[in-house]
Amino acid sequence: MKIKGRAEHSLWYYSQLFKVPLSLISDSNIHLHVNDTLDDKVINIPGYFVKEYDLAQNDSFDSLATKLNINTEALHLVNHGDLTNLTEYSKINIPVRVTEPIVNGEQKYTYLTMSEDIKRLEEIYPFMKTNTIGHSVQNREILEVIVGNGPKQVHMNGSFHANEWITTAVLMAFLNNYLLSITNQTSLAGLKTEPLYHNATLSLVPMVNPDGVELVLNGLANDDKSLEYVIALNEGSPDFSNWKANMNGVDLNKQFPAKWELEQPRKPQQPGPRDFPGYRPLSEPETMAMATLTMNSNFDRVIAFHTQCKEIYWGFDDREPPYSKIIVNEFVKNSGYRPVQTLDSYSGFKDWFIYEWKKPGFTVELGEGENPLPITQFKNIYDESIGIFLAGLYM
């Protein structure tokens, strides 16, 4: 929520008044300069929204504050000091602390749902930043969110593969619960999370392949220009539930320049619903966006979430550092998933990260069964993998 600042106040004062860590208030107000007076400035307070309240007979400011268990000063601030001439039935603003997540991951989690959730999270938690890192074939924005001010740069992503869209739902639930927990200083899965905020800066791209996810979840409109083409790629079938690729029929996780030339000859030579590595590495806008983001960032580790089989791949071409094994062992302890050092597979995103930077990179295969995993697995997957998300930030 937004309040109007006063000259005699400091951000520290607001942190005490609203019981929100000072670092989160500072990071929510980067438009302010250190020596600015707060007088009349708009101040973002994370973790609250403002609700209208009808004054009842005999309500006074003090009695109302007691009744609603809020500080009288907080009440003044959300009403911008304009509290003269109150009468019965006047409407006033009251600050309401957000104590529940707003993301519901247990549903067909579409691109639109994700975009709207990100917007709402940004409003409630203005210390979270959002960037557009590129556009998909069908011109959807590929979104990255950033949370934290720690030195360790941790990147996570989901839905490289369209029919693995449940990974986006799980990551968005992690994100929301993490934001909620650091703001309210509650624990998440038994862990105090505020130190993680200062330990790591999280870069999260929850949906790398938005067109593919939309194709799987909603199909295409009859007048969509791509309809005929993708039905042809899909061997004439309008059932896209097993589609993995992007809208050009390229498998985005076989597109990276890490021994691509070994993968290419043994995979399909033509576009299709899965496994086609493209005519050259990074030919697709989605993979180019991810590569550019990675080259322009200084990630210390990356974790790509896929489905399924409860395995964690953690090596590539003997180039992973020794620390990768320590991290994967922590992931395994927290999730019960199996560690697998190397696979006969090349040119994935995490392969390229290890190959190019020799830093820890992981592919986590969530859940078990057959893709696409039913959304009824959501809660189980969340519970078994939240420890991977957290270890990704604290290790």
**By the rule CB under 5 A, 306 interacts with Zn ion:** yes
Residue nearest to Zn ion (CB): 306
Distance of closest approach, residue 167 Cβ to Zn ion, in angstroms? 8
Nearer to Zn ion, 5 or 372 (CB): 372
Which of these ranges, 11-19, 99-107, 305-313, 324-332, lies near Zn ion under the rule CB under 5 A?
A: 305-313
Which of these ranges, 10-18, 33-41, 108-116, 302-310, lies near Zn ion under the rule CB under 5 A?
A: 302-310
Distance of closest approach, residue 62 Cβ to Zn ion, in angstroms? 58
For 309-329, give one letter per residue: b (16+ CB within 10 A) or e: ebbbbbbbeebbeeebeebbe
User: What angle (nearest 5°) sits at the alpha carbon of residue 241, between those of residues 144 and 255?
Assistant: 50
84-103 positions binding Zn ion, by CB under 5 A:
none
Nearer to Zn ion, 151 or 374 (CB): 374
User: What is the distance of C-alpha 14 from the center of its chain?
Assistant: 27
Distance of closest approach, residue 27 Cβ to Zn ion, in angstroms? 33
Nearer to Zn ion, 300 or 368 (CB): 368
Distance of closest approach, residue 80 Cβ to Zn ion, in angstroms? 50
Q: Which of 125, 346, 355, 382 is catalytic?
A: 346
**By the rule CB under 5 A, 350 interacts with Zn ion:** no
- The answer to whether 192 touches 202, Cβ cutoff 8 Å, is no
- Site mask, Zn ion, residues 145-184, x = CB under 5 A? ----------------x--x--------------------
* 365 classed as catalytic: yes
* 313 classed as catalytic: no
Nearer to Zn ion, 181 or 209 (CB): 209
Nearer to Zn ion, 117 or 164 (CB): 164
| Number of residues this chain uses to bind Zn ion (CB under 5 A) | 3
Distance of closest approach, residue 306 Cβ to Zn ion, in angstroms? 3
Nearer to Zn ion, 18 or 389 (CB): 389
Using CA atoms, how far apart are residues 334 and 394, in angstroms rounded to an integer? 13
Per-residue CA distances from 392 to 55, 173, 302, 330 (Å): 48, 16, 9, 9
Distance of closest approach, residue 363 Cβ to Zn ion, in angstroms? 8
Using CA atoms, how far apart are residues 100 and 181, in angstroms rounded to an integer? 10
Q: Which of 144, 263, 365, 382 is catalytic?
A: 365
Nearer to Zn ion, 27 or 214 (CB): 214
User: What angle (nearest 5°) sits at the alpha carbon of residue 372, between those of residues 367 and 376?
Assistant: 60
**By the rule CB under 5 A, 301 interacts with Zn ion:** no
Distance of closest approach, residue 305 Cβ to Zn ion, in angstroms? 9
Per-residue CA distances from 17 to 6, 12, 56, 71, 235 (Å): 14, 9, 25, 7, 62
- Residues lying near Zn ion in the complex (CB under 5 A) are found at 161, 164, 306
Annotated active-site positions, please?
346, 365
